[in-house]
Amino acid sequence: MERRRIGSLEVSVVGLGCNNFGWRIGKDATREVLAASLDGGVNFLDTADMYDTGVSEEFMGEALGDRRKDVVIATKFGFSMGDGPNGAKEGASPAYVREACDASLRRLKTDHIDLYQLHTPDPKTPIGDTLEALDGLVKAGKVREIGCSNFSVEQLQEAALAVKAGAARFLTVQNHYSVFHREPEAGMLAECAATGVGFIPYFPLANGLLSGKYRKGQPVPDNSRIKDSWGPNMFNDHNMDIIEKLVAFAEAHGHTLLELATCWLAAQPSVVSVISGAKTVAQATQNAAAGNWTLTAAEAAEISKLAS
Residues belonging to the active site: 51
> Phi then psi for 273, rounded to 5 degrees?
-160, 140
Number of helical (H) and strand (E) elements in the chain, helices listed first: 11, 12
For 92, residues 6+ apart whose C-beta sits below 8 A from its C-beta are 77, 78, 118, 121, 122, 125, 127, 129, 130
**Exposure of 177 by Cβ count < 10 A (0-12 exposed, 13-18 middle, 19+ buried)?**
buried
CA 105 to chain CA centroid, nearest Å: 19
What sign has the CA pseudo-torsion 120, 291, 279, 37?
A: negative
DSSP secondary structure letters along 248-296: HHHHHTT--HHHHHHHHHHTSTTB--EEEE-SSHHHHHHHHHGGG----
Phi-psi category of residue 202: left, alpha or beta, with phi > 0 → left and psi -120 to 50 → alpha: beta
